[in-house]
Amino acid sequence: MKRISMIALALIFAVVLGTVAVSAETELKNLIPAKDATWIDTPCYGASVTTEYKDDGSVVFSGSVSGSWPCVEHWYATPIVANVETDSLVIDFNVTGGSTNINLFFTDESGNSYGYTLCNSMFADRNYDTGSGDLYDGDYTLTISLKDFVATTKLYDGSAFPAGAILDGKLTFAGVQVYSVNGAAVTVKTLAIESEVVEEEEEKPVTPPTGDASLLVFVLIGLVALAGVSFAAKAHKEF
Protein backbone atom coordinates (compact mmCIF):
# COMPACT_ATOMS: atom_id res chain seq x y z
CA MET A 1 0.00 0.00 0.00
CA LYS A 2 2.90 2.33 0.76
CA ARG A 3 4.18 1.78 -2.78
CA ILE A 4 0.76 2.62 -4.22
CA SER A 5 0.64 5.82 -2.19
CA MET A 6 4.03 6.95 -3.50
CA ILE A 7 2.96 6.34 -7.10
CA ALA A 8 -0.27 8.22 -6.48
CA LEU A 9 1.60 11.18 -5.01
CA ALA A 10 3.94 11.29 -8.02
CA LEU A 11 0.98 11.31 -10.39
CA ILE A 12 -0.73 14.08 -8.48
CA PHE A 13 2.36 16.29 -8.46
CA ALA A 14 2.85 15.70 -12.20
CA VAL A 15 -0.74 16.73 -12.95
CA VAL A 16 -1.03 19.68 -10.56
CA LEU A 17 2.43 21.24 -10.58
CA GLY A 18 3.44 20.75 -14.21
CA THR A 19 6.94 20.05 -15.54
CA VAL A 20 10.16 21.85 -16.44
CA ALA A 21 11.22 21.36 -20.07
CA VAL A 22 14.87 21.54 -21.16
CA SER A 23 15.79 22.05 -24.81
CA ALA A 24 19.10 22.50 -26.63
CA GLU A 25 19.62 24.58 -29.76
CA THR A 26 22.66 25.42 -31.87
CA GLU A 27 23.73 29.04 -32.18
CA LEU A 28 26.14 30.53 -34.73
CA LYS A 29 28.23 33.52 -33.67
CA ASN A 30 29.52 35.12 -36.86
CA LEU A 31 33.19 36.11 -36.98
CA ILE A 32 32.56 38.06 -40.20
CA PRO A 33 30.68 41.21 -39.17
CA ALA A 34 27.45 42.53 -40.67
CA LYS A 35 27.27 44.71 -43.77
CA ASP A 36 27.50 48.06 -41.97
CA ALA A 37 30.71 47.09 -40.13
CA THR A 38 33.88 49.13 -40.41
CA TRP A 39 36.86 47.38 -42.00
CA ILE A 40 40.36 48.78 -41.59
CA ASP A 41 42.19 48.66 -44.92
CA THR A 42 45.92 48.07 -45.22
CA PRO A 43 46.95 48.77 -48.87
CA CYS A 44 49.92 47.15 -50.56
CA TYR A 45 51.69 48.57 -53.61
CA GLY A 46 48.71 50.77 -54.37
CA ALA A 47 46.14 47.96 -54.18
CA SER A 48 43.41 47.77 -51.56
CA VAL A 49 40.91 45.10 -50.54
CA THR A 50 37.25 45.78 -51.19
CA THR A 51 34.42 43.99 -49.37
CA GLU A 52 31.23 43.07 -51.21
CA TYR A 53 28.29 41.69 -49.26
CA LYS A 54 26.14 39.38 -51.39
CA ASP A 55 22.41 38.69 -51.10
CA ASP A 56 23.10 35.08 -50.13
CA GLY A 57 24.96 36.24 -47.02
CA SER A 58 28.48 35.62 -48.33
CA VAL A 59 31.19 38.30 -48.41
CA VAL A 60 33.73 38.67 -51.25
CA PHE A 61 37.15 40.13 -50.47
CA SER A 62 39.11 41.19 -53.57
CA GLY A 63 41.13 44.03 -55.10
CA SER A 64 44.74 42.91 -55.04
CA VAL A 65 46.90 42.73 -58.14
CA SER A 66 49.84 40.53 -59.07
CA GLY A 67 52.66 41.07 -56.61
CA SER A 68 50.51 42.70 -53.91
CA TRP A 69 48.98 41.44 -50.67
CA PRO A 70 46.63 44.04 -49.17
CA CYS A 71 44.32 43.10 -46.30
CA VAL A 72 41.38 44.33 -44.27
CA GLU A 73 40.65 43.70 -40.62
CA HIS A 74 37.76 44.23 -38.26
CA TRP A 75 37.85 44.45 -34.45
CA TYR A 76 34.64 43.55 -32.65
CA ALA A 77 32.96 46.20 -30.50
CA THR A 78 31.93 43.35 -28.22
CA PRO A 79 34.41 40.44 -28.13
CA ILE A 80 33.00 36.98 -28.87
CA VAL A 81 33.59 34.50 -26.06
CA ALA A 82 33.62 30.78 -26.85
CA ASN A 83 34.00 27.60 -24.80
CA VAL A 84 36.99 25.54 -25.91
CA GLU A 85 35.50 22.28 -24.62
CA THR A 86 32.05 22.53 -26.20
CA ASP A 87 32.12 24.99 -29.13
CA SER A 88 33.27 24.54 -32.73
CA LEU A 89 34.71 26.67 -35.52
CA VAL A 90 32.70 26.52 -38.76
CA ILE A 91 34.65 27.40 -41.92
CA ASP A 92 33.37 27.68 -45.49
CA PHE A 93 35.22 29.87 -47.99
CA ASN A 94 36.54 29.80 -51.53
CA VAL A 95 39.69 31.25 -53.11
CA THR A 96 40.01 32.01 -56.84
CA GLY A 97 42.68 33.78 -58.87
CA GLY A 98 45.41 34.00 -56.27
CA SER A 99 45.77 33.12 -52.59
CA THR A 100 44.67 34.29 -49.16
CA ASN A 101 45.34 34.15 -45.48
CA ILE A 102 42.69 34.63 -42.81
CA ASN A 103 43.83 35.50 -39.31
CA LEU A 104 41.83 35.38 -36.10
CA PHE A 105 42.69 37.68 -33.20
CA PHE A 106 42.21 36.94 -29.50
CA THR A 107 42.68 38.86 -26.27
CA ASP A 108 43.39 37.79 -22.70
CA GLU A 109 42.21 39.31 -19.42
CA SER A 110 45.03 41.86 -19.53
CA GLY A 111 44.11 43.06 -23.02
CA ASN A 112 47.07 41.41 -24.73
CA SER A 113 46.38 40.46 -28.35
CA TYR A 114 47.18 37.16 -30.04
CA GLY A 115 46.85 36.17 -33.70
CA TYR A 116 46.47 32.79 -35.34
CA THR A 117 46.12 31.93 -38.99
CA LEU A 118 43.71 29.46 -40.55
CA CYS A 119 46.64 27.98 -42.48
CA ASN A 120 47.46 25.22 -40.02
CA SER A 121 47.51 21.45 -39.83
CA MET A 122 43.76 21.11 -40.29
CA PHE A 123 44.37 22.05 -43.95
CA ALA A 124 47.45 19.86 -44.36
CA ASP A 125 45.97 18.18 -47.44
CA ARG A 126 45.67 21.49 -49.34
CA ASN A 127 48.17 23.51 -51.38
CA TYR A 128 49.70 26.40 -49.49
CA ASP A 129 52.70 28.70 -49.69
CA THR A 130 55.37 27.28 -47.38
CA GLY A 131 56.93 30.71 -46.93
CA SER A 132 53.89 32.81 -46.09
CA GLY A 133 51.24 30.24 -45.23
CA ASP A 134 48.88 31.60 -47.88
CA LEU A 135 46.15 29.21 -49.05
CA TYR A 136 45.89 28.77 -52.80
CA ASP A 137 42.84 28.37 -55.06
CA GLY A 138 40.22 25.98 -53.76
CA ASP A 139 37.23 25.38 -51.53
CA TYR A 140 37.83 25.23 -47.80
CA THR A 141 34.96 23.74 -45.82
CA LEU A 142 35.39 22.39 -42.32
CA THR A 143 33.80 22.21 -38.89
CA ILE A 144 36.41 21.67 -36.20
CA SER A 145 35.98 21.67 -32.43
CA LEU A 146 37.80 24.50 -30.69
CA LYS A 147 39.49 21.85 -28.58
CA ASP A 148 41.06 20.40 -31.74
CA PHE A 149 41.62 23.83 -33.28
CA VAL A 150 43.83 25.04 -30.42
CA ALA A 151 45.83 21.81 -30.72
CA THR A 152 46.81 22.55 -34.33
CA THR A 153 50.13 24.01 -35.49
CA LYS A 154 50.93 26.48 -38.26
CA LEU A 155 52.02 24.55 -41.33
CA TYR A 156 54.55 27.08 -42.58
CA ASP A 157 56.50 27.67 -39.36
CA GLY A 158 55.37 24.90 -36.99
CA SER A 159 54.36 27.29 -34.20
CA ALA A 160 51.58 26.27 -31.84
CA PHE A 161 48.39 28.05 -30.88
CA PRO A 162 49.11 30.87 -28.39
CA ALA A 163 48.38 29.32 -24.99
CA GLY A 164 47.97 32.76 -23.41
CA ALA A 165 44.77 33.28 -25.38
CA ILE A 166 43.02 30.48 -23.47
CA LEU A 167 41.65 31.57 -20.10
CA ASP A 168 39.58 29.26 -17.88
CA GLY A 169 38.76 27.10 -20.88
CA LYS A 170 37.49 30.05 -22.90
CA LEU A 171 38.65 31.94 -26.00
CA THR A 172 37.87 35.62 -26.48
CA PHE A 173 37.73 36.44 -30.19
CA ALA A 174 38.68 40.09 -30.72
CA GLY A 175 38.84 40.47 -34.50
CA VAL A 176 39.42 38.99 -37.95
CA GLN A 177 41.78 39.79 -40.84
CA VAL A 178 41.45 38.76 -44.51
CA TYR A 179 44.16 39.00 -47.19
CA SER A 180 43.72 39.13 -50.95
CA VAL A 181 47.02 38.09 -52.55
CA ASN A 182 48.01 38.27 -56.22
CA GLY A 183 44.54 39.14 -57.47
CA ALA A 184 42.58 36.65 -55.36
CA ALA A 185 38.86 36.85 -54.79
CA VAL A 186 38.06 35.34 -51.40
CA THR A 187 34.40 34.42 -50.91
CA VAL A 188 33.58 33.74 -47.28
CA LYS A 189 30.26 31.96 -46.85
CA THR A 190 30.66 31.06 -43.19
CA LEU A 191 33.23 31.83 -40.56
CA ALA A 192 31.55 31.40 -37.21
CA ILE A 193 31.54 29.84 -33.77
CA GLU A 194 28.94 27.13 -33.29
CA SER A 195 27.78 26.67 -29.72
CA GLU A 196 25.01 24.74 -28.03
CA VAL A 197 22.47 26.84 -26.16
CA VAL A 198 20.56 24.99 -23.45
CA GLU A 199 17.28 26.64 -22.53
CA GLU A 200 15.31 25.72 -19.44
CA GLU A 201 11.70 26.78 -19.45
CA GLU A 202 10.30 28.31 -16.29
CA GLU A 203 8.13 25.98 -14.23
CA LYS A 204 4.50 26.81 -14.85
CA PRO A 205 1.55 25.66 -12.70
CA VAL A 206 -1.12 23.76 -14.57
CA THR A 207 -4.76 24.78 -14.35
CA PRO A 208 -6.61 22.32 -12.10
CA PRO A 209 -8.23 19.61 -14.25
CA THR A 210 -11.96 19.31 -14.79
CA GLY A 211 -14.29 16.49 -15.78
CA ASP A 212 -12.83 12.98 -15.88
CA ALA A 213 -9.33 14.29 -15.14
CA SER A 214 -10.63 15.99 -11.99
CA LEU A 215 -12.32 12.77 -10.91
CA LEU A 216 -9.02 10.91 -11.38
CA VAL A 217 -7.22 13.39 -9.14
CA PHE A 218 -9.81 12.98 -6.37
CA VAL A 219 -9.58 9.18 -6.66
CA LEU A 220 -5.81 9.39 -6.33
CA ILE A 221 -6.14 11.69 -3.33
CA GLY A 222 -8.53 9.22 -1.79
CA LEU A 223 -6.07 6.40 -2.29
CA VAL A 224 -3.37 8.41 -0.58
CA ALA A 225 -5.68 9.18 2.32
CA LEU A 226 -6.63 5.51 2.71
CA ALA A 227 -3.00 4.52 2.55
CA GLY A 228 -2.22 7.00 5.29
CA VAL A 229 -5.01 5.70 7.53
CA SER A 230 -3.96 2.09 6.93
CA PHE A 231 -0.34 2.88 7.71
CA ALA A 232 -1.29 4.78 10.90
CA ALA A 233 -3.52 1.93 12.13
CA LYS A 234 -0.82 -0.62 11.49
CA ALA A 235 1.73 1.47 13.31
CA HIS A 236 -0.63 1.93 16.27
CA LYS A 237 -1.32 -1.82 16.46
CA GLU A 238 2.36 -2.66 16.41
CA PHE A 239 3.06 -0.09 19.10
Could you tell me the residue ranges of all domains in the chain? Answer: 25-200
Stretch 176-182: mean pLDDT: 98
Q: Is the pLDDT of residue 88 over 60?
A: yes
Residue 96 gets which letter from DSSP?
A: E
- Rounded to two decimals, what is the model's pTM? 0.74
Q: Which of 64-68, 117-121, 183-187, 190-194 has the lowest mean pLDDT?
A: 117-121
Using CA atoms, how far apart are residues 204 and 226, in angstroms rounded to an integer?
Answer: 30
Provide DSSP, 106-152: EE-TT--EEEEES-BGGGTTS-B-TTT--EEEEEEEEEEEHHHHTT-
What is the CATH topology of the domain spanning 25-200? Jelly Rolls (2.60.120)
Stretch 225-235: mean pLDDT: 45
Q: Is the pLDDT of residue 216 over 60?
A: no
Give the chain's mean pLDDT. Answer: 82
Stretch 208-230: mean pLDDT: 48
Report the DSSP pairing between strands 170-179 and 71-83: antiparallel
Stretch 14-29: mean pLDDT: 61
Q: What is the pLDDT of residue 132?
A: 87
Q: Is the pLDDT of residue 231 over 60?
A: no
Q: What is the pLDDT of residue 224?
A: 44
